[in-house]
Amino acid sequence: MSDGMRGVVVAHGGLAAALVEAAERIGGAAGALVAVSNTECGRDEIERRVTEAVGDGPAVVFVDMPCGSCFFAAMRLSRARSDVQVVTGVNLPMLLDFVHHRTLPPADGADRAAGKGHDAIRHA
Amino acid sequence: MPIALYRVDDRLVHGQVVIGWGKPLDLGFIVLVDDGVFAAEWERDLYRMGVPPEIELRFADVTEALRQLPAWRADPRNGLVLTGDVQTMAALVRGAPPIERVNLGGLHHKPGRIPRLPYIYLTADELELLRSLAANGTEITAQDLPTSAPVALEGLA
C-alpha cells in the first residue's frame, strides 16, 4: 500500500515500532506507517527524525502523549506544514482505521483517526 | 521554600520532568528559563499544553530569572527550575546564589559533544564550565530520573 498520505508514529522507547508492527500484522498495510522513537534524542534530533519520516508529502503524525518531546517535535513541524496534522494518544484501533483512509485530506484523516481511537477506549 | 530541583535538560518540558520528577517532588510549579521559548508566544502555548493543571508553568529569560529567583524560592510550593543548556544554568548559579545542586537530566548528541552517559553528552567547554561551578561549591550530578543512581561530575570526565 503506497497511495495516500503517510502515517508517522512517534513515541517513547520502542512503542512506535511495536504499534507499527502490530498494525501491519493485523491490517496488512505494510509501508503505510513509519515508526520514530525519541530514545536518546535531544530536541534537534527528534525533530530531524520526525521531519525525515514525514517526507515531502501529506501526513498524519501520531504521538503517544499530548506532551513531551515527541508531541512538541510533531507540533513544530505541523505549524510549518499545513499538510501535516497531529493526533495524540495513539492506539492500535486508530492506526488500523487510518491505513485504509489515507486518501482523505490530512485534517479529515486526523479527525477520523482521533475519533476511532477515542471510540476504542471503553470501560468494558 | 527552596527550589526542589535545578535541572538542565535539552528536551525542556517533557515526560521525565513533568511526571518522572513532578510526581515524587509534588511540584507546584516549573520555571522554564529559555530565551528562545520566552520570546515566542506560540512556543509558550505549546509547552503549556504539556503540563497538567496542578502544575503552573512559568517562562523566563535569564534576566527575568535572575530577578525572579528570590520570589520563586519564597513560593510555598515545590518548584523546579529548568534550562536547556549548561550555559544558561551557569548564569543562574553565578547570578543568583545560592544554588547548591544542579541536576543534569538530558544533554544529547550535537557536534563537538562526547558521550558521557547514554543521556549526557558534553563538549569539553561544557565540562569545564560545570567543573568551575563545582569548584565554587555547587554539587553537579547527572540523573535522568529519581529512581536512577546519580552520577557525580567526576564520573562524566
| pLDDT score at B1 | 74
Number of independent structural domains in chain B? 1
> Averaged over B27-37, what is the pLDDT?
97
ipTM value greater than 0.90: no
What is the least distance, in Å, from the CA of A66 to any CA of chain B? Answer: 6
* Nearest neighbour of A12 by CB, restricted to B13, B15, B108: B15
The residue behind cell 510550593 is B77
pLDDT tens by residue, B88-130: 999 999 999 999 999 999 999 989 999 999 999 999 999 999 9
List, for residues A101-113, the tens digit of each pLDDT value.
999 999 999 999 9
Task: Looking at the complex, report in whole angstroms how far the Cα of residue B52 sits from the nearest Cα belonging to chain A.
Answer: 9
What is the pTM (predicted TM-score) of this model? 0.86
Contact criterion met (CB < 8 Å) for A67 and B108: no
What beta strand segments (E) does B10-157 contain? Answer: 27-33, 56-60, 78-83, 101-106, 114-117, 120-122, 139-142, 151-152
B58 touches chain A (CB under 8 A): no
At residue A1, does pLDDT exceed 50? no
Chain A residue numbers with beta carbons less than 8 Å from the beta carbon of B47 are 72
Hey, where are the domains in chain A?
Answer: 9-78
CATH of the domain at B110: 3.40.35.10
Is 70 exceeded by the pLDDT of residue A2? no
B47: contact with A, CB 8 A cutoff:
yes
Q: Which domain holds residue B43?
A: 3-156
